[in-house]
Amino acid sequence: MRPIDGGRPLVEDLRAGWRSFVAFDLLCKVISFALFAPLSAWLLRAILHGGGKMVVSNLELVSFFASWRGLLFIAVWATGGIAAWCFELGGLVLISLGVRQGETVSTSAALRFLFGHFARLLELGFRQFLVLGAAGACFLATVAATKATLLRGGDIYYYLTVRPAEYWWAAIIVAAAAIAAGAAIVLLLVRWLFAVPVLLLEGTGAQTAMAESRRLTREIGLRRIAMPLAGWALLIVLLLVLAASVHGVSRRALMAVAGGRVSLVIAMAGALLALDLLLTVAVGLIAAVSFACVVARLYAAARPAQRLPEALSVAADGRKRSVPVGLAVFGAAAAMAGLAVVFSHSLINQISFDREVQVTAHRGSALVAPENTMAALEQAIQDGADYAEIDVQQTSDGIVVLFHDTDLRRVAGVDKRTWEISYDEMKRLDIGSWFSDEFSDQRVVTLAEAMDAVRGRLKLNIELKINGHGRNLESEVVRLIRQADFESECIVTSLD
* Kind and range of the H or E run holding 111: helix 107-116
The C-alpha atoms of residue 152 and residue 162 are separated, in whole angstroms, by: 15
Strand-pairing partners, residue 388, are 361, 460
For 60, 173, 300, 458, the CA distances from 153, given in Å and listed in that order, are 21, 18, 57, 36
Catalytic residue among 117, 247, 362, 469: 362
Q: Which of 150, 148, 141, 140 is nearest to 172 (CA)?
A: 150
DSSP codes, 333-359: HHHHHHHHHHHHHHHHHT--TTSPP--
Residues sharing a CB contact under 8 Å with residue 82, sequence separation 6 or more, in sequence order: 124, 125, 126, 128, 129
Is-catalytic flag, 345? Answer: no
**β-pairing, 360-362 with 387-394?**
parallel
The C-alpha atoms of residue 402 and residue 392 are separated, in whole angstroms, by: 5
Contact between residue 22 and residue 328 where contact means Cβ atoms under 8 Å apart: yes
Contact between residue 27 and residue 332 where contact means Cβ atoms under 8 Å apart: yes
The C-alpha atoms of residue 123 and residue 86 are separated, in whole angstroms, by: 11
Catalytic residue among 49, 117, 247, 404: 404
The C-alpha atoms of residue 439 and residue 445 are separated, in whole angstroms, by: 14
The C-alpha atoms of residue 489 and residue 358 are separated, in whole angstroms, by: 13
Residues sharing a CB contact under 8 Å with residue 88, sequence separation 6 or more, in sequence order: 25, 28, 29, 32, 288
Strand-pairing partners, residue 401, are 393, 446
CA R_g for the chain: 29
Treating both helix axes as pointing N-terminal to C-terminal, what angle do 262-302 and 222-258 enclose, rounded to 10 degrees? Answer: 170
For 6, 18, 193, 302, 408, the CA distances from 12, given in Å and listed in that order, are 12, 10, 22, 20, 65
Is-catalytic flag, 362? Answer: yes
The C-alpha atoms of residue 136 and residue 441 are separated, in whole angstroms, by: 47
DSSP codes, 242-279: HHHHHHHHHHHHHHHHHTT-HHHHHHHHHHHHHHHHHH
Q: Name the residues annotated as catalytic.
A: 362, 404
